[in-house]
C-alpha cells in the first residue's frame, strides 16, 4: 500500500469505528428510554366500522382520508418525535399531565392520536338514545337532552378555527366546552378539564368535503351518530 493511501485507509477505518460506536449508543439510548426502561409509543386503534358506515352524515371519502391520512400522520409524527426527543413518559396520561412541557410537535400529535381514537368510538351507525342513567345526569345538569344539545352546538360554533367540542365529567359534574387545535381536557394547560365523555372534531378536514363552510349542519346531523353506550361506559 502506498504511504498516503494507507494513511487515508487508517483514517477512514477510524471514522467508521467512531460512527458505529455513535450509532450503537443511540440505539441503546432509544431502547432504554423511560425511567422504567419503556418509552410509550402511540398507536392508532382500528376503525370500529367501515368507511361508509356513517353515510350519509359523514361520507366514506372523508372517513377514509380522515382515518388513513390525518390520524395516521399524527401517530407517525408523535412516535418520531418521542424518539428524537428521547421522551421518558410511560403512558398517554403522563404525556397529557405534562402537556405544557411538551414540544408543539409532541403536544399536537399526541393529542391528535388520542382525540381521534376517542372520536371514532363515540360514534356508531344509527346511534340509539342515551340510557336512563346518562339521560338523568344530562337532565340534572342541563335541564333536558335538547338543552344539552343546544349548549354543545353553541360551544362547537363558538370555537374559532380548528379544535374540538367536548362533554366531560369533572368531580361528578358534567361540563361542556371546547379546546383549540388538538388539545384535550386531559392536558394540564387546558382551560376545560375533566374525563372526556363525548368529543366532536371541529377541524374542517372532518366535514369540508360534504358540508363546506356549514359547520352547523355537520353538528346538527352528527347527533344521529352519537354512541351513547360509549358515553355511559366512560361515565361509569
Ligand atoms: Mn380530525
For residue range 207-230, list pLDDT tens digits in order: 999 999 999 999 999 999 999 999
Dist. CA 2 → ligand 1 center (Å): 64
Residue written as grid cell 405544557: 100
Percent of the chain with pLDDT over 70: 84
- Look up the pTM and report it: 0.84
Dist. CA 22 → ligand 1 center (Å): 39
Dist. CA 173 → ligand 1 center (Å): 27
Q: What are phi and psi of 115, to 5 degrees?
A: -60, -40
Percent of the chain with pLDDT over 90: 81
Average pLDDT over residues 29-51: 74
Dist. CA 164 → ligand 1 center (Å): 9
CB atoms under 10 Å from CB of 29, counted, come to 11
Most confident of the ranges 5-14, 48-57, 119-128? 48-57
Which residues lie at CB < 5 A from ion ligand 1? Answer: 201, 203, 206
Averaged confidence pLDDT in the chain = 88
Four-way CATH pick for 59-236: 3.30.70.20, 2.40.50.140, 3.55.40.20, 3.40.50.620: 3.55.40.20
Dist. CA 216 → ligand 1 center (Å): 17
Q: Is the pLDDT of residue 6 over 70?
A: no
| Predicted local confidence at residue 128, as pLDDT | 84
Dist. CA 74 → ligand 1 center (Å): 10
| Predicted local confidence at residue 126, as pLDDT | 84
CB atoms under 10 Å from CB of 99, counted, come to 18
| Predicted local confidence at residue 158, as pLDDT | 96
Dist. CA 222 → ligand 1 center (Å): 14
Dist. CA 201 → ligand 1 center (Å): 6
Dist. CA 69 → ligand 1 center (Å): 10
pLDDT digits (tens, 9 = 90+) for 60-95: 999 999 999 999 999 999 999 999 999 989 999 999
Q: Is the pLDDT of residue 173 over 80?
A: yes
CA distances in angstroms from 139 to 135, 149, 219, listed in the order given: 6, 11, 21
Q: Is the pLDDT of residue 234 over 80?
A: yes
CA of residue 170 relative to chain centroid, distance: 20
Number of alpha carbons in the 13 Å side-chain half-sphere of residue 50:
4
Query: Where do the structural domains in the chain lie, given as residue ranges?
Result: 59-236
Average pLDDT over residues 108-117: 98
| Predicted local confidence at residue 38, as pLDDT | 65
Amino acid at each position: 500500500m502506498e504511504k498516503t493511501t494507507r494513511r487515508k485507509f487508517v483514517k477512514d477505518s477510524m471514522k467508521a469505528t467512531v460512527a458505529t460506536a455513535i450509532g450503537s449508543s443511540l440505539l441503546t439510548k432509544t431502547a432504554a428510554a423511560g425511567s422504567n426502561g419503556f418509552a410509550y409509543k402511540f398507536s392508532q386503534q382500528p376503525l370500529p366500522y367501515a368507511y361508509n358506515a356513517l353515510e350519509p352524515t359523514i361520507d366514506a371519502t372523508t372517513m377514509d382520508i380522515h382515518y388513513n391520512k390525518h390520524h395516521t400522520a399524527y401517530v407517525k409524527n408523535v412516535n418520531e418525535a418521542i424518539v428524537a426527543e428521547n421522551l421518558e413518559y410511560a403512558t398517554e396520561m403522563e404525556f397529557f399531565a405534562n402537556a405544557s412541557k411538551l414540544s408543539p410537535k409532541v403536544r399536537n400529535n399526541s393529542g391528535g392520536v388520542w382525540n381521534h381514537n376517542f372520536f371514532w368510538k363515540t360514534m356508531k351507525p344509527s346511534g340509539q338514545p342515551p340510557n336512563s342513567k346518562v339521560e338523568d345526569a344530562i337532565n340534572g345538569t342541563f335541564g333536558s337532552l335538547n338543552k344539552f344539545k343546544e349548549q354543545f352546538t353553541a360551544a362547537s360554533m363558538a370555537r374559532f378555527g380548528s379544535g374540538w367540542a367536548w362533554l366531560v365529567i369533572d368531580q361528578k359534574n358534567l361540563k361542556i366546552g371546547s379546546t383549540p387545535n388538538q388539545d384535550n381536557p386531559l392536558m394540564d394547560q387546558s382551560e376545560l378539564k375533566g374525563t372526556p365523555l363525548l368529543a366532536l372534531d371541529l377541524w374542517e378536514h372532518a366535514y369540508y368535503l360534504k358540508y363546506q363552510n356549514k359547520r352547523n349542519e355537520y353538528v346538527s346531523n352528527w347527533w344521529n351518530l352519537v354512541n351513547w353506550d360509549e358515553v355511559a361506559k366512560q361515565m361509569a
